[in-house]
Amino acid sequence: MHLRLNKITTNTLQMKKYSFYLVTLLGSVLFLSGCGDQNGNASSNGALASNNAEKVYVAPGEHDEFYAFMSGGYSGNVTVYGLPSGRMFKEIPVFSQFPTNGYGYSEETKPMLETSFGFIPNDDSHHPDISQTNGELDGRWLFINGNNTPRIARIDLKTFETAEIIEVPNSAGNHSSSYITENSEYVVAGTRFSVPIPQRDMPIKDYKGNFKGALSFISIEPETGHMDIKFQLIMPGFNYDLSHPGRGKSHGWFFFTTYNTEEANSLLEVNASQNDKDFIAAVNWKKIEEYVANGGGTMVPANYTHNVYSDETHSATSTMKKEVLTVDPTKVPGAVFFMPTPKSPHGVDVNPTGDYIVGNGKLSADLTVFSFDKMIAAIDAKKYDGEAYGLPILKFEDVLAGQVKSGGLGPLHTEFDDKGNAYTTFFISSEVVKWKVGTWEVIDRKPTFYSVGHCMIPGGNSRKPFGKYLISLNKITKDRYLPTGPELEHSAQLYDISGDKMELIYDFPTHGEPHYAAAIPASILAPKSQKIYKLAENEHPFATKNVSDARVEREGNVVHVYMAMIRSHFTPDNIEGIKVGDTVYFHITNHEQDFDVPHGFMMIGANNSGLLIMPGQTKTTVWEPKQEGVWPFYCTDFCSALHQEMQGYIRVSPASSNLDLSWSLGE
């Protein structure tokens, strides 16, 4: 094995670089500290001009132009914001239990959070991506990754609810996810941490050469969106950080940044920064797809769950899968190539035409742009610069399209508008920089007043960006809000990019720690929106579709309450004959058939969350009464002028009681 990676060998050069970065960081801190004070007093240059405030104002009764879906980071969920107003419309529970509506608490949704490790009601969500057709956003589904327990979720944009979650085996730190090919053939999930494959007990010091990185290509069924792991590419044991698909001429390729090509396993901030360059892995998934179709690959044992929610039964099922198809890239010539890129790269981004791949080292002051055409030419000419674990390394100079000089400090992520411009965030110098694709000329730069991470332009990760707004997603709040308590919410900033110069027009707090976001015109979403669940089509096995079917049944110490709800009463609303020690299942069906008339349910003493039940939907919650008495339940969602009257009682008798079950309404 020949691995050609240039190294910094002189202590003098290292000291000069470290001194440069230290001065830069100190200057950044001084710059940020001048934006206001820590007593809540705004500085004069922090105020927005009134005309900018008017740009974000959405009058009562009017609607936002775009919907932005922001990852919730350690909340495990997705939040939905309107643009330009910055109003938060909804939090969509995905990987975490959510007491607001009972997700992960109700019997129907608990299976969504099952994994091979058991019930995991939390995660770390990072990168949402919207399904595409012909490279354009189609508004059918949103995909989001769970980092910690590797998972990919699909959210149905008809209902804004999580419809499916698939666990990703052989992966750890599911970070370079979830990105969609331009016809939604695949959602791709890359591992951040390489691990032993298969997992086994082995010394950590033996990491190098023994740990592997899995890149998972998960197929998307064109009509239903259902996911299935098509194949896993078993790569060298680097860290796979972020990824993006090719588009247009580069359709059929996927690009992944890697760091830690040193394969260090300790003190990575030092030991994983030794090589002068790391890699962008260019993967020809079309070639691997053909290899698999012809019988290639190895099926290996693996335990991972596949959880699917049904709109018909209003219930989820969890299935444990036992094997996955793996592919050794060295057995598929022409499938994987490495492009050297400045050390410790984070983002890798592809412009709307698919001509250019942007990949930057986090410690670099310049932006590096690679040419897809040059990459193909170098591959065709077999102009390699050695290999890494049997995979060809292309020469840096042969694939380089150009560099954006003095772009900033700490480049991270790039998005694109519809006018041939690119916008890159710089973490250390805390700014967004606009540059021209093709000429590599810096056109504009604006401070973010934060340590900025990702940026997002609606459609900026597609063939058709909507180049009106840019959002910077920021990491450290600094002094933008009152210094109340040791932690503040993170923040997003909205820039108007419709003109030649960027204008910062708004910033607003965001929930959790948003990393990336995806946005789409509301006009694409609204016509597809599902307003109600039709009661006649409710196939839930415990649905009470007719009031006359409401009842209470006992099976030993288990009691099933079949309940209906409508403005403004429950049927039944009085129940007797429940005993201490019983397990009571409330199967509750909302009989409303009007848009936006959910009902809630809470039972005193229940050791889980309440429920929020949509029109025509059935949900189930469990209650284990522990004390004798007469205990109320009620509707938690204001539904009518007589909402307060929507309540009932349950009589709980001693465990030794012989009182028969009885129930009533209006008696």
What average pLDDT score do residues 451-464 get? 94
- Give the whole-angstrom CA distance, residue 563 versus residue 664: 11
Is pLDDT above 80 for 289?
A: yes
Is pLDDT above 90 for 239?
A: yes
Q: How confident is the model at residue 407 (pLDDT cuts 50, 70, 90)?
A: confident
Among 146-160, 262-276, 519-533, where is mean pLDDT lowest?
262-276
Is pLDDT above 70 for 227?
A: yes
Among 1-15, 276-290, 601-615, where is mean pLDDT lowest?
1-15
Give the residue with greater pLDDT, 151 vs 485: 151
**Cβ(211)–Cβ(263) under 8 Å?**
yes
What average pLDDT score do residues 21-26 get? 39
- Given this model, what pLDDT does residue 128 score? 97
What average pLDDT score do residues 407-413 get? 87
- Given this model, what pLDDT does residue 259 score? 95
- Give the whole-angstrom CA distance, residue 415 versus residue 434: 10
For residue 465 the two structure tokens come to 């960006």
- Given this model, what pLDDT does residue 360 score? 80
**Cβ(395)–Cβ(384) under 8 Å?**
yes
Q: pLDDT tens, 356-383? A: 999 988 888 889 999 999 999 999 999 9
CA proximity to 348, closest of 275, 435, 432, 415: 415
- Reduced to 3 states (helix: H, G, I; strand: E, B; else coil), residue 181 is coil
Q: pLDDT tens, 107-155? A: 999 999 999 999 999 999 999 999 999 999 999 999 999 999 999 999 9
Place of tokens 């050695």: 386
- Given this model, what pLDDT does residue 326 score? 98
- Given this model, what pLDDT does residue 14 score? 40
What average pLDDT score do residues 619-626 get? 97
Is pLDDT above 50 for 4?
A: no
CA 26 to chain centre: 33
User: Got the DSSP string for 595-661?
Assistant: TT--EEEEETT-SS--EEE-TT-EEEEEE---S-EEEEEE--S--STTGGG-EEEEEEE-TT--PPP
Give the contacts of 61 (CB within 8 A, at least 6 positions apart). Answer: none
- Given this model, what pLDDT does residue 35 score? 42
- Given this model, what pLDDT does residue 665 score? 85
- Given this model, what pLDDT does residue 50 score? 65
- Given this model, what pLDDT does residue 29 score? 38
What average pLDDT score do residues 524-542 get? 97
Is pLDDT above 50 for 2?
A: no
- Given this model, what pLDDT does residue 45 score? 46
Q: How confident is the model at residue 10 (pLDDT cuts 50, 70, 90)?
A: very low
What average pLDDT score do residues 318-336 get? 98
- Given this model, what pLDDT does residue 577 score? 98
Give the residue with greater pLDDT, 295 vs 32: 295
What average pLDDT score do residues 634-649 get? 94
Q: pLDDT tens, 62-100? A: 999 999 999 999 999 999 999 999 999 999 999 999 999
DSSP, res 511: S
Q: How confident is the model at residue 409 (pLDDT cuts 50, 70, 90)?
A: confident
Q: What angle do CA 573, 577, 583 make, to 5 degrees?
A: 90
Give the residue with greater pLDDT, 127 vs 28: 127
Strands 574-579 and 647-653: parallel
- Given this model, what pLDDT does residue 28 score? 42
- Give the whole-angstrom CA distance, residue 75 versus residue 471: 20
Give the residue with greater pLDDT, 244 vs 12: 244
**Partner residues linked to 495 by β-bridges:** 470, 504
Tell me the percentage of the chain whose pLDDT exceeds 70. Answer: 92
Out of 2.130.10.10, 3.40.50.2300, 3.90.1150.10, 2.60.120.580, which CATH number does the structure's domain 66-528 have? 2.130.10.10
Annotate 306-352 with three-state secondary structure: EEEEECCCCEEEEEEEEEEEEECHHHCCCCEEEEEEECCEEEEEECC
User: Got the DSSP string for 249-297?
Assistant: GGTTEEEEEEE-TT---S-HHHHTS-BSEEEEEEEEHHHHHHHHHTT-S
For residue 520 the two structure tokens come to 């789409």
Among 176-180, 201-205, 486-490, where is mean pLDDT lowest?
486-490
Burial 166-199 (b: 16+ CB within 10 A, else e): bbbbbbbbbbbbbbbbbbbbbbbbbbbbbbbbee
Domain spans of the chain? 66-528, 551-664
Say whether 551-664 and 66-528 share the same fold.
no
What average pLDDT score do residues 31-41 get? 40
What average pLDDT score do residues 393-408 get? 93
What average pLDDT score do residues 383-411 get? 93
CATH fold of 551-664: Immunoglobulin-like (2.60.40)
Strands 629-634 and 599-603: antiparallel
Q: How confident is the model at residue 186 (pLDDT cuts 50, 70, 90)?
A: very high
Distance between the two ends of the chain, CA-based, in angstroms? 84
Q: How confident is the model at residue 49 (pLDDT cuts 50, 70, 90)?
A: low
Average pLDDT, the chain: 91
- Given this model, what pLDDT does residue 151 score? 98
